[in-house]
Structure 1
Amino acid sequence: MAHLKEQWPGLDAIPHPAGRKPDTLDMENSDFVRPMQRMFQWSRELGPIFETQAPGFGMVVVTGADLARDLFDDTRFEKYTGFGIEAFRPVTGDGLFTAYNDEENWALAHRILLPAFSREALMRYHPKMAGSVGRLVDHWTKTAGDGPVDLGESSVSLALDMIGQAGFGFDFGSFEGGGKNHPYVSSMVNALAYSVLPPQLQQEREAEFRSWVTTMNGTVDDVIDTRRRSGTSTDTDLLGMMMHARDEVTGKRLPDENMRYQVTTFMVAGYGTTASLITFCLYFLSRNPGVLSAVRAEIEQTVGDAEIDFESVYRLRALRRAVDETLRLWSPTPAFLRVAKEDTVIGGRYEVRRGGWAALLTGGLHRDPAWGEDVDAFDPDRFLPERVRAREPHLYKPFGTGPRACIGRQFALHAATLALAETVRSFDVEVPPDYVLSVAEGGFFMPENLEVSVRRRT
């Protein structure tokens, strides 16, 4: 592909998947259901850098730590907001995730919303997060004898409840819907799946996509209007901060349309990140009883039977190591894109022209040989303080990098750690012995068809 070769002059020296055809290129070897996992496979076969092409499209993919170090240099590279991200712009517009690097509202919102994810802000959100976890505990206690529990579905319900309640004062009725999603949630899930379809399939379903966007926009606008009519001027949640905070640099507030985009951005990014993390971590703890016992012993010693308050979450170091290791193996950000701000070279040999971009495959970076032996094994001790200090920091990037890294990562980590602590303290969650991990992709990774038995601990 001429355009790709213009961006990467040394393209011929970069390996590509075997079996490339002159007309379809790599399409016949691609997996449109699990595309990221196919790229994981290619990275194992082809090494720390490879390129893949389809008719009208091509990209370079990087997984190696040495090459990634260069891509993370913010003086030479920045977030690329083209491929993949562009498809979701009709939903999240100039929200923090899909905004272009030079859009005014990105910088405005970033400055206004940074305090909304500070330690002090999380302390304000904690009671509502704990209330949502309590609703899950009550739901599981009442239904524990009703048969297997879809762990992914329960985690999604919990994540939506936590974000809706703590972020926007909105109740999705996650545990009272009788298995039926709120229209906003159904539309969001459908729109997210649509955004990763090939262009020809997107064209066929464009009318449906527009209807989903209309439903989402209407719901968010109603939430904002209801808050405004209430006359509440508090900034104790994320929505309040959006509505009432002024930018210290310009004195401006967020425009209403941008508030809508920010709410949808946090819902889309937050529920997937949090639900995926909770589900995978409970899976790994069930499969690793020694780790689970250590986590439970720490909870007993730190909290006992008392309420898990804000400060207690930060003292659960064994659980946090399990969370970090879960993020290493199945990061909520499967890849992120970096574009060259100038003509440069990565790894001392691969030339990149200004405007040339690469996909950094997080799952490949997190399995680099620098992580030690058996990189596919779940080993929370990789995150013991002495081992973290001995490791180069750029090896671990579960939430992206640079100024455009996930602004809500501390919200997600606090919510997930709190939920996991209460769940493993209150329940035995058992994965069937014959379950083989299969991972679905739909904007984020999620264990597929994971039905577990749940028993209240006494």
Structure 2
Amino acid sequence: TRFCKLPGGALDKMKEVVGDGLFTAETANPKWAIAHRIVTPLFGTMRIRGMFDDMKDICEQMCLRWARFGPDEPLNVCDNMTKLTLDTIALCTIDYRFNSFYRENGVTHPFAAAVVDVMTESFAQSNLPDFVNNYVRFRAMAKFKRQAAELRRQTEELIAARRQNLVDRDDLLNAMLNAKDPKTGEGLSPESIVDNLLTFLIAGHETTSSLLSFCFYYLLENPDVLRKVQQEIDTVVGSDTITVDHLSNMPYLEAVLRETLRLRDPGPGFYVKPLKDDVVAGKYAVKKDQPLFIVFDSVHRDESTYGADADEFRPERMLKDSFDKLPPCAWKPFGNGVRACVGRPFAMQQAMLAVAMVVHKFDLIKDESYTLR
């Protein structure tokens, strides 16, 4: 191994909220190693399949709300996808319902609102020098610190309540309370449980929300692709309701999601640092521990890999045979190596279910007044 992940940018700012969670801790941190060995099996394919009914529950709530609006009401897809993904991950991980689609007048649950706020503020901070954040944006920083402390306090209370009233539920919180590190025999510390629960709630909802929002954008911009997705779903599901087994028979929909991630990855990239003085790409000398930023757009839109149409949305290039032939590092929306996102199976199952349900139930029409910003 020549490089290791270096938490930087928005991830570094998120440490105020999530501490040494899986996404923010350095690889050499013992807390990361223990949490990684405990949590990774919890996101295995079979366990994620068991979360399908909860995922479907929240998606049905959204679809019922959409149906009540009628055909002439425009929908804010981004806002709906944020509600969908946050409600879903809360139900699947901590058995908690924000009930976003039952709230009137768009009022958001305070915890859910704070989760969105701290994520947005972390990105804002990462784009500015520290002196601007600390001395010019001091009110925003103070609010950020208050919300971070409140989120941690409420999460600690939720964990304490679960410890006192154990429920027979196969969710992530129960698993984190009871699982042991296969190497050391240790369990997760109370602080590490808080760190990682907040990590999953914050990072886990935002990334999938972005994927779904851009996916629907591309479907509406490419009616031929939308028709192919509809045909595949109608053929596989028919007049039945969608089940977890249906999802594995939707290769074109999976290709659509992969292509969306290629063109519009939820993050701009990730930092790494060399483990020793090295030469990159045969000509760039780098020093040990020098931060390097891997830019997803440069990787995912490389014409030497994807051809002259690398900037175009063409899901066919992501069908299994073509996808399997891609060079090893040509598609990395979920990160790389041991620091790759452990939530990938969760995100992909949720995204496939959401698109399949929406397309199966509704005919989507593009709002011609909308411009992508």
Q: TM-score, normalised by structure 2?
A: 0.94
Q: 1:285 to 1:333 in 2, by over 3 A?
A: same
Q: Deviations over 1:343-399 (max 9, x none)?
A: 110111111111112111112211111211222211000112332233212110011
Whether 2:94 is the aligned partner of 1:160: answer no
- Higher strand proportion: 1
* Separation in 2, partners of 1:165, 1:337: 31
1-structure distance, mates of 2:322, 2:50? 33
Deviation at 1:140, TM superposition (A): 0.7
Matches within 5 A, 1:362-441: 362-369=296-303, 370-438=305-373
Contact kept, 8 Å, 2:251 with 2:320, in 1: the verdict is no
Residue in 2 that maps onto 1:215:
150
The answer to whether the Cα contact below 8 Å between 2:3 and 2:274 also exists between their aligned partners in 1 is yes
User: Does residue 1:228 correspond to 2:154, yes or no?
Assistant: no
Matches within 5 A, 1:447-458: none
Deviation at 1:228, TM superposition (A): 1.7
Aligned residue in 1 for 2:109: 182
Give secondary structure in 2 for the equivalent of 1:242: helix
Aligned residues of 2:93 and 2:173 also touching (Cα < 8 A) = yes
SS at match of 1:430: coil
Tell me, yes or no, if the aligned pair for 1:333 and 1:400 is still in contact at 8 Å.
no
Equivalent-residue separation in structure 2 for 1:292 and 1:121 (angstroms): 30
Q: 2:34 aligns with which of 91, 101, 108?
A: 108
Distance across 2 between alignment mates of 1:383 and 1:145: 33
- 2-structure distance, mates of 1:81, 1:289: 39
Deviations 1:91-111 (A, max 9, x none): 111110111221111111111
Query: 1:202 aligns to what?
Result: 133
Equivalent residue letter for 2:81: S
Q: How many angstroms apart in 1 are the aligned matches of 2:254 and 2:368? A: 25
- Between 1:262-271 and 1:370-379, the stretch displaced more is 370-379
| CA drift at 1:434 | 4.2
Structure 1: distance between partners of 2:153 and 2:117: 16
Are residues 145 and 229 of structure 1, via their aligned partners in 2, closer, same or farther at CA, if it must alter by over 3 Å?
farther
Which one of the candidate residues 237, 242, 260 is aligned to 1:326?
Answer: 260
Question: How far is the alpha carbon of 1:288 from its aligned partner?
Answer: 1.2
Which one has the largest radius of gyration? 1
Residues of 2 paired with 1:270 and 1:255: CA distance?
A: 21
Question: Identity of counterpart residues, as a percentage?
Answer: 33
Contact 1:170 1:223 (C-alpha < 8 Å) held by counterparts: no
Q: CA RMSD of the aligned region, Å?
A: 1.5
Contact 1:86 1:98 in 2 (8 A): yes
Q: Deviations over 1:130-183 (max 9, x none)?
A: 111111111111123572111100111110111011121011121122211211
Q: Quote the residue 1:15 is aligned against.
A: none
Partner of 2:229: 295
Q: Which has the higher helix share?
A: 2
Rounded to whole Å, the distance in 2 between the matches of 1:189 and 1:300 is 35
C-alpha contact (below 8 Å) 1:164/1:170 kept by paired residues: yes
- Secondary structure of the structure 1 residue equivalent to 2:100: coil
Using the TM superposition, give the Cα deviation of residue 86 of structure 1 relative to its aligned residue in structure 2, in angstroms: 2.2
**CA contact 1:332–1:399 (8 Å) conserved in 2:** no
Q: CA–CA distance in 1 between the matches of 2:21 and 2:99?
A: 26
Aligned pairs for 1:14-413 within 5 A: 75-144=1-70, 147-178=73-104, 179-196=106-123, 197=125, 198=128, 199-203=130-134, 204-205=138-139, 206-232=141-167, 234=169, 236-369=170-303, 370-413=305-348
CA contact (8 A) 2:17 2:149 kept: no
| Counterpart residue identity of residue 316, structure 1 | M
Q: How far apart, CA to CA, are the structure 2 residues paired with 1:116 and 1:389?
A: 26
1:424 deviates by 0.5
SS of match in other structure, 1:175: helix
CA contact (8 A) 1:92 1:264 kept: yes
1:307 Cα offset (Å): 2.0
Q: Distance in 2 between matches of 1:391 and 1:123?
A: 27
**Contact 2:118 2:144 (C-alpha < 8 Å) held by counterparts:** yes
Q: Distance in 2 between matches of 1:354 and 1:142?
A: 58
- Within 2, Cα distance between the matches of 1:201 and 1:141? 46
Which amino acid in the other structure matches residue 361 of structure 2? S
Residue 120 of structure 1: CA displacement?
1.2
Please, which runs of 5 or more residues in structure 2 have no aligned partner? none
Deviation at 1:189, TM superposition (A): 2.2
SS of 1:359's partner is strand
Query: One-letter code of the match for 1:293?
Result: R
* 8 Å Cα contact 1:233-1:244 kept in structure 2: no
Would the aligned equivalents of 1:124 and 1:237 in 2 still touch at CA under 8 Å?
A: no
Aligned residue identity for 1:185: A
Letter in 2 for 1:148: P
Corresponding letter in the other structure for 1:320: E
Q: 2: distance between equivalents of 1:385 and 1:258?
A: 38
For residues 219 and 113 of structure 1, the distance between their equivalents in structure 2, rounded to whole angstroms, comes to: 22
Q: Which amino acid aligns with 1:395?
A: A
